[in-house]
Amino acid sequence: MDFCFFDNDVLDEFKVPVVAFNENFSDSRMNELSKLMLIKDDVNISELLVEIHPKNIKSAINLSENIEGLLLFNDDKNSLYMLREKDSEKVKYEEMNLDIEAIFKHTFDVIYIADGEGVTLRVSEAAKKIWGYSPEELEGQSVYKMEKEGVFQPSVTRLVLKAGRKVSAIQITKTGKRLIILGIPIKDENDNVIRVVNVSRNITEVSHLQKELQDTKSLLEGYREELLSLREKKGVQNRLVYRSSAMRKVIAMAKKAAPSNSPVIVKGENGVGKRLLCEFIHNYSERSSNPFIVVNCAAITDNIFLEDINVTGSDGENSEHIGSKAHNGTIIFENISELSKKLQGDLKGFVEHIQNNSNSARIMATTDVDLYKLMEKGKFRKDLFFLLNAIPIEISPLKDRREDIIPLCQYFVRQFNDKQSSNKYFSNELRKFIERYDWPGNVNELKNVIENMILLSDGEMLSPELLPEYIRGYHELSPSISVNELIPIKEAIELVEMQLLNKAKERYMSTTKMAEVLGINQSNISRKLQKYNI
């Protein structure tokens, strides 16, 4: 059909705006209604027609920003389009689509979209540089397959689909890049994940940022662990910081003991927090608003001790004895094993007097030795032991509950930061030293070491160099031991002893220093060196 078929008279018969084009859009004709719609005073019709943008010649064309042509007729040589103004929402959608195309093409970050099955729908151009694959190569691929083939590890999309929530992670690519990725799920009205959108930032070249991120994550984790350990009541409860199952059992037992009036004996090494646990029991009980009196049996003279527990004076009742002062409160006898047998007898009489009076104080005691063994050896009175041992509680040393070490560190660091208006924090390397050391002085030693490091430090980050030499030496002399075959225990112990002694001798010239670092006396060092011919 010849193009002249659409002459002006024919086109004017249409009661709607129409435009006719030849096969290659090089020539066109339009009716009067189209001219009214398209031609403005400052627009040249030929320029307008040159700039037309066919979307799809079989369906529609764009003639201007707000006008499109819908195909009415076409053959090999002619096309006839009806003109209409574009829908405003459609225009906005097209503009938004152009913006999205620009973002996906030019962003430096990888933007990745997958469906609810983990199949890749769309990827930005940056994937070629960062992942080593073009968007065309990735689209349609399963994240599970790509993860298995090592394109990236881990797949954040997989983690999002598994968790059903937002996930952030560090990802390593096949090209050796390190990315920090945020994965966001998009859900339907039934809460099913239908899309996953990932935004990735290349942090390969920003090693200092990576280190700060790791330190910050460690710090936040420490704070989280500390917060989990904070108790529900104010005061001393907030100072009981723990995470281990061993301490959870201790606290559970202490809570059960709190409402009772029965005596309590708390056993544990020096520095584990025996007095603090007694305070916890007192504060957790109905006696919390009444006095809490501490008598240190290892630091008091016999005369003063007798005055404190003497319930009768020359004129009758002695109102100055500690039982009266601690009316309806709690009395704790620390280091009770240090009392002589005579004073133990006097204390027995005092405890019986207290227990036989209403509105009297509750008795607690602490010890760092096994009172039962002392009793069997005749060094502790049986009657006093059984009188006090109604509720025995034992606190394990810190080396046996290492899960508590870092939460305690974070607690002490925060305390000192608050006091000094500073912002000190542990490096990852320091955490390893702290967790590996046995802390023979338990919580007290840990607190003092941290305070010393904070006072000596110049910057905000605390590093192993600030630790006392004996702790750093302990770390260096504590090799990781791998067991490759079964051998007698005695032989294994001797092998470890030989390794430690050899390392100690390489580092230190004197047996005195070796003994200090290894935690044994000098005579043992000399004997073992001779035994192993070192």
Residue 162, in any domain of the structure? yes
Q: Lowest-pLDDT range, 222-236, 348-362, 372-386? A: 222-236
Same domain for 22 and 139? Answer: no
Are 281 and 254 contacting, i.e. CB atoms less than 8 angstroms apart?
Answer: yes
Residue that the structure tokens 């190569």 belong to: 137
Residue 465, in any domain of the structure? no
Same domain for 371 and 292? Answer: yes
Q: Lowest-pLDDT range, 234-238, 283-287, 307-311? A: 234-238
Residues 100-126 pLDDT 10s: 777 777 677 888 889 999 999 888 888
Same domain for 263 and 394? Answer: yes
CATH number at residue 391: 3.40.50.300
Residues 266-305 pLDDT 10s: 999 999 999 999 999 998 898 988 999 999 999 999 899 9
- Round to whole Å and give the CA distance between 147 and 156: 10
Domain boundary, last residue among 156, 176, 205: 205
Same domain for 15 and 38? Answer: yes
Residue 325, in any domain of the structure? yes
The domain containing residue 501 runs over which residues? Answer: 489-531
Residue 187, in any domain of the structure? yes
Q: How many separate domains does the chain show?
A: 4
pTM beyond cutoff 0.75: no
Tokens representing residue 71 in the block: 């195909």
**Predicted confidence (pLDDT) at residue 441 exceeds the cutoff of 50:** yes
Same domain for 124 and 170? Answer: yes
Strand runs (DSSP E) across 335-477, as ranges? 362-367, 391-394, 425-426, 461-462
Domain boundary, last residue among 179, 205, 231: 205
- Concatenating the DSSP letter of every residue in 282-316 gives HHTSTTTTS-EEEEETTSS-HHHHHHHH--EETTE
- For helices 274-283 and 245-257, give the axis angle rounded to 10 degrees: 40
Are 160 and 196 contacting, i.e. CB atoms less than 8 angstroms apart?
Answer: yes
Are 12 and 32 contacting, i.e. CB atoms less than 8 angstroms apart?
Answer: yes
**Predicted confidence (pLDDT) at residue 39 exceeds the cutoff of 90:** no
Residue 221, in any domain of the structure? no
Same domain for 108 and 72? Answer: no
pLDDT band at 408 (very low <50, low <70, confident <90, very high): very high
Residue 390, in any domain of the structure? yes
- 362-367 and 264-267: which strand pairing? parallel
Residue 179, in any domain of the structure? yes
Residue 62, in any domain of the structure? yes
Residues 459-504 pLDDT 10s: 899 999 999 988 887 655 555 555 556 778 887 788 788 888 888 8
- Round to whole Å and give the CA distance between 171 and 178: 6
Same domain for 76 and 104? Answer: no
pLDDT band at 316 (very low <50, low <70, confident <90, very high): very low
Tell whether omega for the bond before 154 is within 30 degrees of 0, i.e. cis. yes
Ordered strands of the 193-202 beta sheet: 120-123, 110-115, 193-202, 178-187, 167-173, 152-153
Same domain for 303 and 348? Answer: yes
Name residue 122's beta-bridge partners: 113
Same domain for 9 and 147? Answer: no
- Concatenating the DSSP letter of every residue in 355-389 gives HTSTTPPEEEEEESS-HHHHHHTTSS-HHHHHHHT
Domain boundary, last residue among 377, 398, 419: 398
Structure confidence at residue 280 (pLDDT) = 93
